[in-house]
Structure 1
Amino acid sequence: MKTLILAALLCALLALDTAQGEYYYTIYCVYIYVYGIDIQISFCFFTDSTFMGGHLASVRGDIEYGVIQKVIGDGKAAWIGGFDAQKKGVWFWTDGTPFTYTNWASGEPNNVLGLQHCLQMNYGAQKRWDDQNCITFLPSVCVKKL
């Protein structure tokens, strides 16, 4: 199975081929962020629409997380597809895959002021996960199966 990962950040194109026949690339585009996770999901789908649709990335292990970090390149914080907006403290992936792998930073998720329902990657010096307010302006890491 081939997977395509998009990280929508500022429109340049970076590509990465792997020995397993996977093709990853990052698109850098400016976008307007308005209402949180729904906009992030829509943005991934819209960005990928010319490539037949996509969604926010889910992470199933350390290797996949490392590949996503390599695609992003600069190590800055970015959205991935985890959120707990439907039930506080119960995290799931927007693509419906089981939320079995975690990489939370120490003390996270902490849901500061009850407003942090979206998952950002590359948080802090350890580049781990943090729950964050969904209206925070961050790039979105999108994925597409080829």
Structure 2
Amino acid sequence: MWIGLSDSETEGTWKWVDGTPMNISYWSSGEPNGVPDREEDCGEILDLNTEKNWNDDSCNRKRSWICEKT
């Protein structure tokens, strides 16, 4: 599922959808890898059973979203 994290503005500079910079991360080993042909500019959670479970993928892929509520 998408977690509201993107580097679409500047490759390699990850920000949350509200514009705040990412200051802690849980990337899976080898991620983010930014496969060039796929424009992997959005962050997702791959596995809820491991702590380091983030992956970068194309924002065009259909995924569920996690939203923050106040």
- Shorter-chain TM range is 0.7 to 0.9
Larger C-alpha radius of gyration, 1 or 2?
1
Work out whether 1:89 is the aligned partner of 2:12: yes
The answer for the alignment partner of 1:121 in structure 2 is 45
Using the TM superposition, give the Cα deviation of residue 124 of structure 1 relative to its aligned residue in structure 2, in angstroms.
8.5
Using the TM superposition, give the Cα deviation of residue 143 of structure 1 relative to its aligned residue in structure 2, in angstroms.
1.3
The answer for the alignment partner of 2:60 in structure 1 is 135
Question: How much identity, in percent, do the aligned residues show?
Answer: 35
The answer for the alignment partner of 1:50 in structure 2 is none
Structure 1 unmatched ranges of 5 or more: 1-77
Conserved 8 A contact 2:14-2:21: no
**Is the strand fraction higher in 1 or 2?**
1
Structure 2 unmatched ranges of 5 or more: none
Name the CA distance, whole Å, in 2 between partners of 1:125 and 1:142. Answer: 20
* TM-score, reference length from structure 2: 0.84
Structure number with higher relative contact order (C-alpha < 8 Å, ≥ 6 residues apart): 2
Deviates more, 1:84-93 or 1:117-126: 117-126
Q: CA RMSD in A?
A: 1.9
* TM-score, reference length from structure 1: 0.43
**Aligned length in residues:** 68
Name the CA distance, whole Å, in 2 between partners of 1:89 and 1:126. Answer: 23
